[in-house]
Amino acid sequence: MNIIVTESYEEMSKKTADIFEREVRNNPSLVLGLATGSTPIGTYRELVRRHKEEELDFSSVRSFNLDEYIGLEPENTSSYTYYMYEQLFNHINIDKKNVRIPDGMTEDPVRYGEKYDQLIREAGGIDILLLGIGTNGHIAFMEPDEELSVDSGVVELTKQTIKDNSRFFESKKHVPTQAISMGMGSILRAKKIVMIVSGKVKAPIIGEILNNGRVTTKIPATFLLLHNDVTWICDKEAYSRVTI
Ligand code: F6R
């Protein structure tokens, strides 16, 4: 496990972009796994800049996103599909047919999850996966529970996640209660994982995970402790409760 602590959100974003840039330049047909939310915005901004100013080429890259809300059309400005095009895909030269984001409007979300894992397998698995973490320790939309699904599929969002994510919606009432999420299997099969964490609000959960060194389904991100190539990039506020 590598841990990088940065002075600021900007430095965290640049260091993350450095890793992704290196991987893309080394392997132009890389398979990316990508997250949404507030944390990756700076990383995507930096990757867009490097594409525009430094010829970072995404033309053969393939990508799989972690999750999408059930019931949101891609055109909905709160959907993760809309976010990904706004923040990244519309501004780089990725081939749109190489972009996969779970379809929140699918008629059969259960079968869709199986199909999603199959597509990831057919692509040869994820080479490098970008993750953020919820204040409750979720990764993708794998929420704290008694058990965690290995396979991708439908998840019920917790009250905490609905509250945390209501900032992206008109109100809490508008946040969907279900999502399609990549499962723990596809997450842990990624060859390389980069977890980015920013802000005081994440300090308690990061402290709990890194100080305790224990794996529990009650904090899904603890499963990352079992993976042999995870880099945690935390700004100093997010890292402030770590004592190891
Ligand atoms: C988003 C995702 C989530 C977020 C997490 C943190 O695709 O999978 O696990 O990474 O909820 O979100 P932010 O970055 O908004 O704090």
Task: Give tens-digit pLDDT for 85-111.
Answer: 999 999 999 999 999 999 999 999 889
Determine whether the shortest distance from the Cβ of 202 to ligand 1 is under 6 A.
Answer: no
Centre of ligand 1 from the C-alpha of residue 46, in Å: 18
Determine whether the shortest distance from the Cβ of 137 to ligand 1 is under 6 A.
Answer: no
Task: Give tens-digit pLDDT for 167-211.
Answer: 999 999 999 999 999 999 999 999 999 999 999 999 999 999 999
pTM: 0.98
Which single residue is written with the structure tokens 């509250």?
Answer: 163
From the CB of residue 64, how many other CB atoms can be counted at a distance below 10 Å? 25
Task: Give tens-digit pLDDT for 5-46.
Answer: 999 999 999 999 999 999 999 999 999 999 999 999 999 999
Give nearest CA residue, ligand 1 atom 12.
37
Short-list 221, 187, 191, CA closest to 204: 221
Active site residue 229: no
Check pLDDT > 90 for residue 150. yes
Determine whether the shortest distance from the Cβ of 88 to ligand 1 is under 6 A.
Answer: no
Pick the atom of ligand 1 nearest to 80's CA.
Answer: 7
CA distance 95 to 97: 5
Centre of ligand 1 from the C-alpha of residue 98, in Å: 22
Determine whether the shortest distance from the Cβ of 104 to ligand 1 is under 6 A.
Answer: no
Candidates 65, 98, 136, 165; catalytic one: 136
Candidates 46, 117, 127, 143; catalytic one: 143
Determine whether the shortest distance from the Cβ of 87 to ligand 1 is under 6 A.
Answer: no
**Beta strands in the chain, from DSSP E residues, in sequence order:** 2-6, 31-34, 62-65, 67-69, 99-100, 128-131, 153-156, 178-181, 192-197, 230-235
Determine whether the shortest distance from the Cβ of 181 to ligand 1 is under 6 A.
Answer: no
In Å, what is the CA distance from 116 to each residue of 102, 103, 112, 181, 201? Answer: 7, 10, 6, 10, 32
Active site residue 136: yes
Instruction: Please tell me whether residue 47 adopts helix, strand or coil conformation.
Output: helix
